Amino acid sequence: MDRGKVFSPPTDDSILLTQFHCEKGVTELGEVDIKNLTKRFGDIVAVNHMELSVPEGSIFGLLGPNGAGKSTTTRLLCTLLRPHEGTASVGGHDILEEPVAVRQITGVLPEEGNHTLYPTMTAYENLQYFARLYGVDETEISGRIEELLTFMDLWERKDDKAGELSTGNRQRLALCRAMLHRPRVLLLDEPTSALDPIAAKRVRELIMSLANTYRQTFFINSHNLGEVQRMCDRIAIIDDGRILLSGETHELRSRLQSKQEFVIRVSGEPEKAAALAESSHFVESVSTGVDSISVVINDPIENNWRLMQDLLAGGIRIIEFAEDEATLEDLYLEVVKGGRD
């Protein structure tokens, strides 16, 4: 294949992909280091003096609401954008000084990655085409494609045109593409947002299994707290281009979830249950529903059973006592408030 040839990719993101090729014999492990990284779009500071270090072999989650700067960070890391200030290194290669090396060892699932496939080519042909662009050895291509498509439950779809696949399947195909050349660092921008729950779970399993097997480093953008908590061993929370806090997931979880909302379904008399809950010093707020109350409890591990005992002692029949999964918004507001106080 002529590497100097200019291809016509379907979107900007694929321009990047055409310049990747497989780096053989690399044993060094991946790592992402961000120093003072800043990117502006006019008056908007999309990435604001960011400092971040992701250890080798991590499954790292960059968590934040829409517009926080996650995709811009990814686009800077894969050298699609140039920073205004600062720099970063991926697998020890500086994004400004060694962009080609960075591209060689990086796999990218761009935001809306499923739109960056060729719709009139089959799933198999898309992967074959991109594998050749990546420089994957011709003798390895068919085996690698079969391995990835099988893993992603897409093997039976190999002859379907990419444009005729469901959004979920296209996203999985885009994920296969990101992994074709066995990159050391994978940058996945909202990898499961287009997937149904079963496919999303499969993708999470794949990511975790790859990370465990090959010790690749995963840098995953997501606005989904539950997903990040399940998948990632390290998390940073970003908003307005700034990292608000970062650390290991288990540390952050206990910091973020020191208060939690629970829904208690009761058999009759929710008002009485609410009055009992309100009188507990560890209950921060209570709201009453038709057959349930919602309570925000401080230090729930310590205090849940106390509330349950108080309610039972007060003659309330509890049908269900369930954690109301904290939304990112709740947690995020708590973090922002903490950061600005």
Ligand X SMILES: Nc1ncnc2c1ncn2[C@@H]1O[C@H](COP(=O)(O)OP(=O)(O)O)[C@@H](O)[C@H]1O
Contact positions vs Mg ion (CB under 5 A): 70-71, 111
Q: Which does 305 bind (CB under 5 to 8 A by kind): ligand X, Mg ion, none?
A: none
Tell me which H or E stretch contains 305: helix 300-313
Q: Does 88 bind ligand X (CB under 6 A)?
A: no
Check binding of 292 to ligand X (CB under 6 A): no
Q: Which of 30, 69, 107, 300 binds ligand X (CB under 6 A)?
A: 69
Task: State which of residues 28, 36, 67, 164 lies at the interface with ligand X (CB under 6 A).
Answer: 67
Maximum Cα interatomic distance, the chain, rounded to a whole number of Å: 79
Residue nearest to Mg ion (CB): 71
State how far the alpha carbon of 129 is from the alpha carbons of 9, 121, 261, in Å.
11, 9, 50
Q: How far is the CB of 236 from ligand X (least distance, A)?
A: 12
Write the DSSP string, 196-243: -HHHHHHHHHHHHHHHHHH--EEEEEES-HHHHHHH-SEEEEEETTEE
The yes or no reply on residue 126 touching ligand X (CB under 6 A) is no
Site membership for ligand X, residue 235 (CB under 6 A): no
Q: What are phi and psi of 52, to 5 degrees?
A: -160, 140
Contact partner, 44, from ligand X, Mg ion, none, Cβ < 5-8 Å per class: ligand X
- Smallest distance, ligand X to C-beta of residue 44, A: 5
Rounded Cα gap, residues 331 and 123, in angstroms:
39
| Coil vs helix vs strand at 177 | helix
How far apart CA 193 and CA 149 sit, in angstroms, is 19
User: Residue 46's binding partner, choosing from Mg ion, ligand X, none, with beta-carbon cut-off 5 to 8 A by kind?
Assistant: ligand X
Choice from 8, 27, 66, 139 touching ligand X (CB under 6 A): 66
CB of residue 228 to Mg ion, shortest distance in Å: 14
Residue placing its CB nearer to ligand X in the complex, 72 or 229: 72
Among the listed residues 326, 328, 323, the one whose alpha carbon sits nearest the alpha carbon of residue 307:
323
**Which residues contribute to the site for ligand X (CB under 6 A)?**
41, 44, 46, 64, 66-72
